[in-house]
Structure 1
């Protein structure tokens, strides 16, 4: 799934800033290795006359002001590093948070500033095969670059000042909270993958029940937001797992309104960094009916959901 954080900008912006890997995938995320790190360094675009000519004011981590002689007419992507950053080194396969200010290369006017406030960008996965990987390459958190993008058949040339703000874990990092009595038990593997145990002999609830078992301190997810999540779902009737992003190898990101009503309740109002345990009866799941192995009709379902990031509809892609 390719996410477009700001549909108002051009197709160049779409191509430039977004990765595959934020959405659903049946393939595992790249494993950070020495070779992958080297590939990420090799993927970094080179500076050129256009990117070198851009003067930038403002501290890393806050919106920039860029000035340059217009028009700039780069023939290929050019990237000039303004600050290498002094935070942790980033690796291929990691999810990162970033922010940017975009300018028209034709007249120097600012087009947008986005990512410096919570809820404006989803975390994205660094890869040598994506343009975001080419923009940031390898390096450290705190890196700032100028990227000059060439014009295409459908878009003008554009200039971006981008900041690499941090890395984002693929498991919830909030403060642990005790689940209420009667809820399923959750045990976490070293990588954060949950094992869910249904309480023996307990009848399932007749209404959706939600418990926050890790409380994050990030942005609060609103109705319709895109949420980047990990989850595992099991059947109440036998405790068997029927779906898990942990098994598929990568988080997914969709609007909260894409899910069944009970799952939606588990996301909306929660903070980024939280882990949520939700028990969903058929009425707010997949409907009433006879429980069978073919589908989830009639089944009370249980999820553990890790909320890794969120993006408001205003910044979300047109689908």
Structure 2
């Protein structure tokens, strides 16, 4: 399921990662519309997003161990994001530039239909950076600001402060349709530590179906198993890190080693160059991104990427090292985040 993320989806979302930003709106115009409809004014710097009639019309479940459920009587059309505390937590308050760990559910603001949820039923939670000036899902950030750890908060977010006025058809959101965002604030993560020089810990054997990997003079040597080349996506962690979790849209520092499963040839390796790479997770192919998001810094991750999640949609690489039908394999050491 994709992940809602204000700088990037996993949910929320590959859509966001692909650059579908919320449309820019004139704050003055938003304020005029809000006054006319009885809605809330947009949040000023350093203030908490106010409530309003749309969010207050929601009935929201209060069991924090279960995915949120809602009921309401008619389509919600706020002029600006409206925020409501459903369950008040007793922890630290979320402020700008924090990185928040949370579970959440999100719904169609017109029909009430649940689009999805993240972080419940043994599913890993998400992490979102609180960047009030982000052009992506700014209403989500405004909903989380001022919340305390342990809280459940609700936000009704107009299209202009979500996916943009054209909506997100991939999620059943038509033009101008608002979203309802219900979040459980789990924790506030400390600033990331400096990148590791190298990983610590003992590498575990690769799971069945994965290539065998060992480092020789600091560079991975990959031995592919016999049999058919896999056509499905797979991820395994052979060293479990103890650092912060990589969130969707994070800028990571990694060592990586990429091998074409079809040809057995190495096509790129920062290990061989002796210099780690730094890049945002929303700036790489989907299979590589999805192999990092949710992992902890300090982990070594093995990623098998079929063509559809790699370079197949691009017709392979320009240098011919990866063809449009080729499966690729990565060894990735996650050294840090910035």
| Structure 2 length-normalised TM | 0.49
From the superposition, tell whether residues 39 and 117 of structure 1 become closer, same or farther in structure 2 (CA, over 3 Å): farther
Match of 1:59 in 2: 63
From the superposition, tell whether residues 95 and 306 of structure 1 become closer, same or farther in structure 2 (CA, over 3 Å): farther
From the superposition, tell whether residues 196 and 71 of structure 1 become closer, same or farther in structure 2 (CA, over 3 Å): closer
Q: Deviations over 1:15-40 (max 9, x none)?
A: 68xxxxxxxxxxxxxxxxxxxxx987
The match for 1:108 among 109, 112, 126 is 112
The match for 2:221 among 183, 203, 207 is 207
Aligned ranges 1:35-54 → 2 under 5 Å: 41-42=46-47, 44-54=48-58
Q: Deviations over 1:237-262 (max 9, x none)?
A: 895x45346xxxxx645557348xxx
User: After alignment, is 208-217 or 133-142 more displaced?
Assistant: 208-217
Structure-2 separation of matches of 1:303 and 1:257: 12
From the superposition, tell whether residues 139 and 53 of structure 1 become closer, same or farther in structure 2 (CA, over 3 Å): same
1:231 aligned onto 2:265? no
1:148 aligned onto 2:161? no
| 5+ long unaligned stretches in structure 2 | 1-6, 23-42, 160-164, 167-174, 200-215, 224-235, 256-268, 302-330
From the superposition, tell whether residues 271 and 163 of structure 1 become closer, same or farther in structure 2 (CA, over 3 Å): closer
Aligned ranges 1:1-319 → 2 under 5 Å: 2-3=8-9, 5-6=11-12, 41-42=46-47, 44-117=48-121, 122-130=126-134, 131=138, 132-150=140-158, 152-153=165-166, 154-168=175-189, 171=192, 191-196=193-198, 203=217, 207-208=221-222, 214-216=240-242, 230-233=252-255, 241=275, 243-244=277-278, 252-253=281-282, 254=284, 257-258=287-288, 272-273=295-296, 275-276=298-299, 304-306=333-335
State the SS of the aligned residue for 1:146.
strand
From the superposition, tell whether residues 7 and 204 of structure 1 become closer, same or farther in structure 2 (CA, over 3 Å): closer
Contact 1:96 1:126 in 2 (8 A): yes
Cα distance, 1:49 vs structure 2? 0.9
Structure-2 separation of matches of 1:126 and 1:96: 7
Cα distance, 1:73 vs structure 2? 2.8
Alignment RMSD, CA only?
4.9
Contact 2:128 2:248 in 1 (8 A): no
* Structure with more contact order per residue of length (Cα contacts < 8 Å, sep ≥ 6): 1
Match of 2:203 in 1: none
From the superposition, tell whether residues 235 and 158 of structure 1 become closer, same or farther in structure 2 (CA, over 3 Å): closer
Structure-2 separation of matches of 1:65 and 1:277: 37
Cα distance, 1:51 vs structure 2? 0.9
Cα distance, 1:307 vs structure 2? 7.7
From the superposition, tell whether residues 139 and 75 of structure 1 become closer, same or farther in structure 2 (CA, over 3 Å): closer
